[in-house]
Amino acid sequence: MPVLSVKYDEATYAELKAVADSRGVSISDLAREQLAPLLRRNPGSRGGEVPQKMTAFQRQVLALLRRILAHLAAGSGEGDDSVEQLRRAKVLERGYVEHYNSEFDEIEPELSRQESNFVIDVLSMFLLLGDSYEQLSDYEKKELGGQARRRTYFLGFDANDRRESRLLGFARYLIEDTDDWEPLARYFDQDHGYGNSHMPTYALYQRMLEEFDPIYKTKLRGGVGRHLTLEELQRVLSA
């Protein structure tokens, strides 16, 4: 079996060992546990971070919650659900690691701060692109052309792509649970596939942001207004 070697300084190694000890696992087991979500092959799989080991206390707490849910289900006449909750409690109490999946099926890997900020940056950019277009004169709109105008529309993210589907989920959350993106809500309705682009868009948005960010930061520093000029719009939209 191939071996992966990673070098750390003594302080970092000591911290990793302390984390591993607190979970009752070896450093190797800890590393495998943390790297496993990166190798998820099935883009349709919802859950990702199923622990290979839990402490007795963690298992006891989760099992107790399952037994409480079983009692409530039985009291409401939902016998089938009560049986299922008791089954899950037994899995936890007896430590059947192979069946931990059912306990964590709805828990997805964390979306990194970098990925979250990327979604926010993309939505912010399209919000301003749309506003900037509306500020153009009729002559400037004609100069921009219909094809370029359509590129000010937010396309969404590809739900069939493993990474973009996660970004799409966060974008939908922002649209549904906050009021900051109301002008973009129409791109997440049924007619627009709830934000599903049905094609990869990540690379396109990266190129557009590379043009957009310097322009917008210059405007903020210079206090010259937030809307993009015709020329600036053309630069971003042709990226």
Helix and strand tally (H, E) in the chain?
Answer: 11, 0
- Picking from 104, 132, 152, the residue at the C-terminal end of a domain is 104
44: pLDDT confidence band, cut at 50, 70 and 90? very low
Burial of 116 (0-12, 13-18, 19+ CB in 10 A): middle
Q: Residues near 118 by Cβ (< 8 Å), separated by ≥ 6?
A: 167, 205
Clarify whether residues 118 and 215 are in a common domain. yes
- Picking from 104, 129, 160, the residue at the C-terminal end of a domain is 104
Is pLDDT above 50 for 214? Answer: yes
Domain range holding 164? 113-237
Tell me the one-letter amino acid at 227: H
What confidence tens digit (pLDDT) does each residue in 202-211 have? 999 999 999 9
Domain count of the chain?
A: 2
147: pLDDT confidence band, cut at 50, 70 and 90? confident
- Picking from 59, 80, 104, the residue at the C-terminal end of a domain is 104
What 8-state DSSP symbol labels residue 162?
H
What confidence tens digit (pLDDT) does each residue in 57-101 have? 999 999 999 999 999 988 888 878 899 999 999 999 999 988 888
Is pLDDT above 50 for 43? Answer: no
Clarify whether residues 232 and 126 are in a common domain. yes
Clarify whether residues 117 and 204 are in a common domain. yes
Clarify whether residues 118 and 81 are in a common domain. no
What is the structure's pLDDT at 3? 67
What is the structure's pLDDT at 119? 96
183 domain residue, yes or no? yes
**CA separation for the pair 227, 90 (Å, rounded):** 60
Clarify whether residues 91 and 166 are in a common domain. no
Mean pLDDT, rounded, for 99-108: 80
User: Is the pTM here over 0.85, yes or no?
Assistant: no
Clarify whether residues 169 and 221 are in a common domain. yes
What is the structure's pLDDT at 20? 74
**CA separation for the pair 143, 209 (Å, rounded):** 23
2 domain residue, yes or no? no
80 domain residue, yes or no? yes
**CA separation for the pair 49, 104 (Å, rounded):** 7
Q: Measuring CA to CA, which residue among 62, 47, 50 is closest to residue 94?
A: 62
